[in-house]
């Protein structure tokens, strides 16, 4: 009997040792199940005398446990081998990775525009917008440049009409030459206090060259409240200068002339190396302009400022020719 058990054990261990993972479940049934050789031995135990039965029973249990453990070992070995095989098979060179999807790029003007907006929002401004095609009244008349005002000649204006044969001079519709009409629209639309910046597209009848485009972008600021002084203007320009350009940059105002502000100033930025950058124009809102906006200049005061957005973009990225920003060549766009 014992011999029979030993033979079954030896045979079973031999089979297990040469089995693969998939056959182990079946093998477990064949070797230990009800129809297995050992099960038949177990069934024959009853025929033995008690001593021999005990001895044989003990041996049988030990062998069955040994076989079960052997199957478990074999299964673990197989799993480890399978994992190792998978890992080996799945080897990957991570530097072969291709982009999921090429990234898109914002236009340089948009990038500068948003950076400027963010700085002014931080200074307490909200953002106002207006139409690009304007009336003569909003673009000139309300800004203290009535019919025949000599300053109009400095804006090379593009006039617009439904009929191309219409005379340019006779049209009261035009492409805004600056974002200043938004000042008037804001004053007419809301009660002071007003703290707005108005970024937007503007138009001049300028032949394009490396530094000029007939279509370009400006940002305009307007503050109207009681007790606004020119010191507030100088302080706001200075605060903007530090916030936008960084520490070490300062600003100065110097006298200039614009029909819609008085006193008027140019504002220059002083770089840390001591050089100056002429940035834009500003001034105290002219009493006539406040009146055009429906406000009493004896009650309200204000200041306004404006400068070019394109130039900020061009300077930041050292773009030599402003026209490059408007070719829409992907090789340009995707650099930024």
Partner 1 sequence: MKVLLSWLNDFGPFADPENAQEVARVADDLTSLGLAVESIDIVGDAVDGVITARVMRVEQHPDAAKVRRVWVDAGDGIERHVWCGASNMSPGDVVPLATLGTTMPDGRTIERRGILGIDSEGMLCSAVELGAGSDGSGIMLLPGDSPLGVPYAQALGQARDVVFDLDLTRNRADCWSVRGVARDLAAHRSQPLGEPGRGATFAAGDDRSVVVEVVDGERCGRFTATVVSGVVVAPSPDWIARRLTALGMRPINNVVDASNYVMLELGQPNHAYDADAVGGGFRIRRARPDERIVTLDGVERSCTADDLLICDGNDTPVGLGGVMGGADSEIDDNTTIVALEVAWFESLGIMRTAARHGLRSEASARYERGVDHELADAAIRRFAEILAVTCPELVVHSGRADVRGAGLPASGTSIMVRVAKINQVLGTSLVASDLPALLDGLGLVVSGAGDAVSVAVPSWRPDVRAEIDVVEEVARRYGYDRLGRSVPRAAVHGHLSPSQRRRRDLRRLLVGLGISEAMPNPFVAPDTMQLAGIDGPTMHILNPLVAEESVLRTSLRPGLLTAVAHNEHHRRDGVALFEIGHVYPPGDGELPDEYEALCVVLAGRDAHAAVGVWREIAAGLGVGAMIDQSSRPSGLHPTRSAVLRAGRDVIGVIGEIAPDVAGRFDVAERVGVLEVRLDGLLAHEPGPTAHRAVSRMPSSDLDLAFVLPDDVPADRLERALRQGVGELLVSCELFDVYRGSGVGDGSRSLAFRIRLQHRERNITEADIAGVRERCEQAAAKCGAVLRA
Contacts of partner 1 in 99-118 (CB under 8 A): 101-107, 109-110, 114, 117
Comparing C-alpha atoms, which of 306, 332, 305, 329 is closest to residue 319? 332
Question: 47, 86, 98, 331: which one contacts partner 1 (CB under 8 A)?
Answer: 331
Nearer to partner 1, 9 or 286 (CB): 286
Instruction: Provide the strand spans (E) within 286-334.
Output: 301-308
Pick the piece of the chain touching partner 1 (CB under 8 A) from 19-27, 35-43, 90-98, 262-270. 262-270
Closest CA to 194 of 268, 270, 290: 290
H-helix or E-strand containing 287?
A: helix 287-292
- Applying the rule CB under 8 A, the residues between 197 and 226 that interact with partner 1 are 201, 205-207, 214-215, 223, 225
Residue 327 lies near partner 1 (rule: CB under 8 A): yes
Q: Provide the minimum distance between the beta carbon of 40 and partner 1 in the complex, in angstroms, as a whole number.
A: 45
- Per the CB < 8 A criterion, the answer to whether 314 and 322 are in contact is yes
Q: Does the footprint of partner 1 cover residue 172 (CB under 8 A)? A: yes
> Is there a contact between 286 and 272 (Cβ–Cβ < 8 Å)?
no
Q: Which two tokens stand for residue 25?
A: 């479940």
- Near partner 1 in 75-94, by CB under 8 A: none
Q: Is 172 within 8 Å of 140 (Cβ atoms)?
A: no
Residue with tokens 């503050």: 223
User: Is position 249 an interface residue for partner 1 (rule: CB under 8 A)?
Assistant: no
Identify the DSSP state of 266: E
Integer-rounded Cα Rg, in Å, for the chain is 43
Determine, following the binding rule CB under 8 A, whether residue 239 of this chain makes contact with partner 1.
yes
Stretch that binds partner 1, among 32-40, 48-56, 84-92, 248-256 (CB under 8 A): 248-256
According to CB under 8 A, which one of 234, 249, 277, 291 is a site residue for partner 1?
234
Nearest distance, CB of residue 238 and partner 1, angstroms: 5
CA-based max dimension of the chain: 134
**Pairing mode, if any, of strands 133-135 and 126-127?**
unpaired
Helix (H, G, I), strand (E, B) or coil at 31: helix
Q: Which of 167, 246, 247, 273 binds partner 1 (CB under 8 A)?
A: 167
189 lies in the binding site for partner 1 (CB under 8 A):
no
- For partner 1, which is the closer residue by CB, 25 or 129? 129
Query: Applying CB under 8 A, which of residues 264, 305, 311, 314 lies at the interface with partner 1?
Result: 264
Distance between CA 230 and CA 237 in Å, rounded? 11
Q: How far is the CB of 222 from partner 1 (least distance, A)?
A: 12
Which of 12/142 has CB closer to partner 1?
A: 142
Nearest CA among 46, 99, 120, 75 for reference residue 307 = 120
Residues 255, 257, 262, 264, CA torsion sign: negative
Q: Which of residues 290-319 bind partner 1 (CB under 8 A)?
A: 301
Distances (CA, A) of 330 to 98, 106, 107, 309, 334: 20, 11, 11, 21, 6
CB of 185 to partner 1, least distance (A): 12
The verdict on 146 binding partner 1 (CB under 8 A) reads: no
How many other CB atoms sit within 10 Å of the CB of residue 145? 24
Which of 12, 16, 134, 182 touches partner 1 (CB under 8 A)? 134
Stretch that binds partner 1, among 1-9, 76-84, 87-95, 232-240 (CB under 8 A): 232-240
Fill in the per-residue mask, 42 to 61: x = in contact with partner 1 (CB under 8 A), - = not in contact. --------------------
């Amino acid at each position: 009997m014992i011999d029979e058990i030993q033979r079954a054990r030896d045979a079973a261990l031999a089979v297990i040792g040469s089995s693969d993972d998939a056959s182990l479940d079946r093998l477990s049934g064949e070797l230990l199940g009800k129809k297995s050789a050992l099960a038949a031995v177990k069934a024959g135990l009853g025929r033995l005398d008690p001593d021999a039965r005990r001895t044989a029973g003990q041996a049988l249990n030990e062998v069955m446990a040994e076989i079960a453990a052997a199957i478990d070992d074999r299964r673990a070995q197989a799993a480890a081998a399978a994992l190792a095989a998978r890992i080996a098979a799945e080897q990957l060179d991570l530097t072969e990775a291709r982009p999921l999807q090429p990234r898109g790029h914002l236009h340089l003007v948009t990038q500068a525009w948003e950076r400027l907006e963010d700085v002014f929002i931080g200074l307490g401004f909200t953002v106002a917008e207006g139409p690009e095609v304007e009336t003569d009244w909003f673009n000139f008349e309300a800004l203290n440049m009535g019919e025949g005002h000599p300053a109009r000649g400095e804006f090379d204006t593009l006039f617009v009409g439904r009929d191309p044969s219409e005379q340019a001079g006779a049209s009261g519709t035009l492409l805004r030459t600056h974002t200043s009409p938004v000042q008037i629209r804001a004053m007419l639309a809301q009660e002071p206090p007003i703290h707005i910046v108005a970024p937007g597209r503007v138009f001049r009848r300028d032949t394009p060259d490396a530094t000029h485009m007939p279509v370009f972008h400006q940002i305009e600021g307007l503050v109207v409240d009681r007790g606004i002084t020119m010191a507030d203007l100088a302080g706001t320009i200075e605060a903007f200068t530090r916030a936008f350009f960084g520490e070490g940059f300062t600003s100065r105002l110097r006298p200039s002339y614009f029909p819609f502000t008085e006193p008027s100033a140019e504002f220059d930025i002083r770089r840390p190396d001591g050089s100056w950058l002429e940035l834009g124009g500003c001034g105290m809102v002219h009493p006539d302009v406040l009146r055009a906006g429906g406000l009493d200049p004896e009650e309200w005061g204000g200041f306004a400022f404006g400068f070019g957005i394109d130039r900020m973009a061009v300077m930041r990225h050292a773009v030599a020719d402003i026209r490059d920003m408007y070719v829409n060549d992907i090789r340009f766009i995707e650099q930024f």
